[in-house]
Structure formats: structure tokens, C-alpha cells
Homo-oligomer: A and B are copies of this chain.
Amino acid sequence: MSFAQVEAAFGSYSSSDPAYSAQLVVYIAGQRVIDLAVGALEPDSLLPVYSSSKGATAVVIALLVERGQLEIEERVARYWPEFAQRGKSSVTVGQMLSHQAGLPGVDGGFGWEDLLDHDALATRLAAQRPFWRPGAGAMYHGLTLGTLADELVRRVDGRPVKDVLREDIAAPRDLDVWLGTPESEDSRVVPALPPTQDELAAAPAPVPDPLATLWAPRGAFIEVFSHINDPVFRRVGQPAAGMLASAQGLAGLYACLRHEANGLPRLLSEDTIGQMSQIQVAGNELGSNLPIRFSVIFQAPTPPRWPFGGVGAFGHDGAGGSLAFCDPIPDIAFGYTVQRMPLPGGMDARALELARLVRHCLRGTR
């Protein structure tokens, strides 16, 4: 197999934009076949990956499913009784973890500081009336999804998402993904960068939909960058957006789901992967009216915005441009990070092109 076309494309992004700083790692059938880094990023640099954190959180959920601790079709309130308040008693784990529960925010809103206090926000979410009847639609729970998943994991396992990720998944496999990044790793951290002022000035205004305001924390857009790079936030390990990772870590995380890693057997059975990657909700998102497809936390391939893979693929992007996924049929695990946020945010168009080229190269050689 030759991935020269992928390497050439990655190189061309760098040639055409001297400030381009990115990492790309690809596994095929459990073997690392591409490992590139350019610009300010070394192969072992760590970057805040925003919502690509959700992919790691989904892997933790999958592990609990694999172990029989958690059932996707079960009601959340069975595990978290307080969640039943205000009409949520019949909401299932699958609904809650696919952005259907109507809890993108809380009455009165929330700020970045609220993300530092898990218990308080979880208590508010348990008491919150859904902003829409659960199941009536779906809208991205950009930050609260992390709190909801975290409380569910704590109730089921006794440990928070970050500890299950580290102790049971990442540390034994030496995976460079960090929820609750310790000081020991700080020297490898490269800050995420906002779009340039010119890009921001040229960007279209967001949809003026009141629902779309719910999931964002209070504060101006640009504040995101002070928080996402803030060591205080970094230490907390918020499971929706608080992860730091390299592309090696991201791709390795998806590769180990179906392949031996560091001498350990694959993490998940095909049955668990099938459950986790089944599309739970599809349609136009409330608030943005754009097409979405979510399985259990994971994004499913969804043209035209998220065409990252084939049937059965699952993964997650980050607002800052990162993309990581597993595509079982050609057996790809893919990790990509980029330092400067591309607009409109979410998976970098260059990452999608690189993923397309990986598939193209595979077809040519098989």
C-alpha cells in the first residue's frame, strides 16, 4: 500500500500556508501507516481537541456496554434516579447520548466556571425541564453532553469518565489522549489558535435562533480560546470538550477498539461497536437546520457536512478542526489535529480530503 497521495496533499497544505500546523496519523488494520506533523506541531505535541473529546467519552461508554454495566436502550433514570425529574423518566441512554433529551443548557444559562464544578451542573441538569419534549428533535449538546455522560458513568462505574479513560483504556495502551491533563504533560502542549481576524470578519453571522444560544456558555466567542487553553480547564477533564491529544493518541484510540494494542486484546466486540455506531437520530438539527446523524455520542457520516466515512463509520470532530474516526469496513483509524480553527468550525475540510485520499489509496491497492 502506498499513501503517497495522502502525504503529498498534507505537504501541499503546508506549502500553500506557511502557518499550517497539523498532525495526521492513520492506522490500517491496526497498523500505523501514516504519521505526519508539520509547523508548530511535533508528532508528540498535545493540542486541545474540543469536541473530539466526545469520541473518547463515547469509548468509555462503549467499554461499560461491553462489560455489561450499561445498556443503551435502558432508561437513564435507572442508573441516575434524580434524572427522572420534570418529565425525563422515560428518556433512554441512547436518546440522552444522541442530543435528543432537550438539555443543551439550563435555565439561567451557565458559564465556563460552571464547567469546573461537575456536581453542581449535573444536579441542575437532573432538575431541568427539557427545552423540547425528549424525542421531538435533536440539537447539539455541545458542553452539557459531557456532564450528562460523566454523571451517568459515575453512577454506573463509580469513577468519572476521565479516570476510566486513563486507567482502563489509555494508560495500559500508552495512548496519548488526556482528560484531566496533569502538569507532567504541560511541556508538550501547544495552544489552540482562533481564526484570524480577517477570517472572522468574512464569516457569515450565525443563525439567529434562540434555541441555538442555549448550548454555549456565557461570554463572547473569543473567550473560548482563553478557556480552552487555560490550565485550570485543562486539569478538570470536561468530557465534552476538555481533552488534549495528539493525532497519534486520537488514531490510536480508534485503532485499539478493533485491534490489539500494546499487547492487549481489542477493546470492543463487533457487537458493541454495532450498538455504538447505530444511528440513533437523523434529520435537520434544531437551531441550525443542518443535517445531522448521531449514533451513541459519535457522529455518523452525514453529507454534506460530515462525509468522513462509509456505512458503519463513527467518530467525532472538534470545533478547532480536529477529526478522529474509525471506519470498520476498510478498517481505517484516523486522527487529525490542526492548531488554528478553520471556519465555520468543526472538521477541517483538509481532514475530509485527507480521509478521502486514504480511502482512494486503499481501493487502488486492494
Report if A299 contacts B (CB, 8 A). no
Q: Counting chain B CB atoms within 10 Å of each CB, which of A130, A136, A275 scores highest?
A: A136
Q: Are B214 and A303 in contact (CB under 8 A)?
A: no
Q: Does A131 make an interface contact (CB < 8 A)? A: yes
**Among B87, B133, B278, which residue has its beta carbon within 8 angstroms of that of A131?**
B278
A146 to B208 CA separation, bound complex (whole angstroms): 32
Nearest Cβ on chain B to A34's Cβ, whole angstroms: 22
With an 8 A cutoff between CB atoms, is A211 at the interface? yes
Q: Which residues of B contact A213 (CB under 8 A)?
A: 310-311
Complex Cα spacing A213 to B73, Å: 28
Do B210 and A301 touch across chains, with their CB atoms under 8 A apart? yes
Residues A278 and B133 in contact in the complex (CB < 8 Å), given A87-B73, A289-B291: yes
**Interface-central residue, A208, A274, A310, by most chain B CB under 10 Å:** A274
Residues from chain B with a CB closer than 8 A to the CB of A307 are: 208
- CB of A171 to closest CB in B, whole Å: 32
How many Å lie between the Cα of A136 and that of B132 in the bound state? 17
Give complex CA distance A75, B277 in Å: 24
Q: What is the CB-to-nearest-CB distance from A169 to chain B, in angstroms, rounded to a whole number?
A: 24
Interface residues of A, Cβ cutoff 8 Å to B: 73, 86-87, 94, 102, 129-133, 136-137, 207-211, 213-214, 274-275, 278-284, 286, 289, 291, 301, 303, 307, 309-311, 313
The 7 closest A-B pairs by CB, nearest first: A132-B279, A137-B282, A210-B311, A210-B310, A129-B274, A209-B303, A133-B280
What are 8 residue pairs bridging A and B, where the CB atoms are less than 8 Å apart in the complex? A86-B274, A87-B278, A130-B278, A133-B281, A209-B301, A210-B309, A210-B310, A211-B311
